[in-house]
């Protein structure tokens, strides 16, 4: 095919989030963090002992608290793919 005009390269996905410790039972330090897909991984939490919900979480590099920032499906497909490949995601999968 012939390129008439080059489009813009898609910007790499990033998200600004605050370390709150949400979902981990820990208090976050409140640091503002710029996250890339590589920082995210899957976590699984059982809400009523039976239903397991999949969350997307990150660990703060400063205080090591874990914060949930969404659920599976909240992120673009290519971002979720990176999340699923994250070593931490795989460790969590094994616990199921
Ligand atoms: Zn923190």
Say how many Å lie between the CA of residue 64 and the centre of ligand 1: 6
pLDDT number for residue 48: 78
Q: Which residue has the higher pLDDT, 95 or 32?
A: 32
Say how many Å lie between the CA of residue 39 and the centre of ligand 1: 14
pTM for the structure as a whole: 0.82
| pLDDT tens string 42-72 | 998 877 778 788 899 999 999 999 999 999 8
Which sign, positive or negative, has the C-alpha torsion 34, 40, 67, 60?
Answer: negative
Say how many Å lie between the CA of residue 8 and the centre of ligand 1: 34
Q: Residue ranges of the domains in the chain?
A: 15-94
Say how many Å lie between the CA of residue 32 and the centre of ligand 1: 8
Say how many Å lie between the CA of residue 14 and the centre of ligand 1: 18
pLDDT number for residue 44: 87
> In the predicted model, is pLDDT for residue 90 greater than 90?
no
pLDDT number for residue 75: 94
């Amino acid at each position: 095919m012939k390129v008439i005009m080059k489009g813009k390269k898609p910007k790499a996905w990033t998200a600004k989030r605050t370390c709150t410790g949400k979902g981990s039972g820990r208090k976050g330090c409140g640091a503002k963090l710029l996250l890339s897909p590589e920082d995210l991984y899957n976590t699984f939490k059982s809400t009523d002992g039976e239903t397991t919900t999949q969350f997307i979480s990150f660990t703060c590099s400063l205080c090591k608290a874990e914060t949930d920032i969404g659920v599976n499906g909240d992120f673009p497909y290519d971002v979720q793919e990176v999340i699923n490949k994250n070593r931490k995601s795989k460790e969590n999968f094994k616990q199921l």
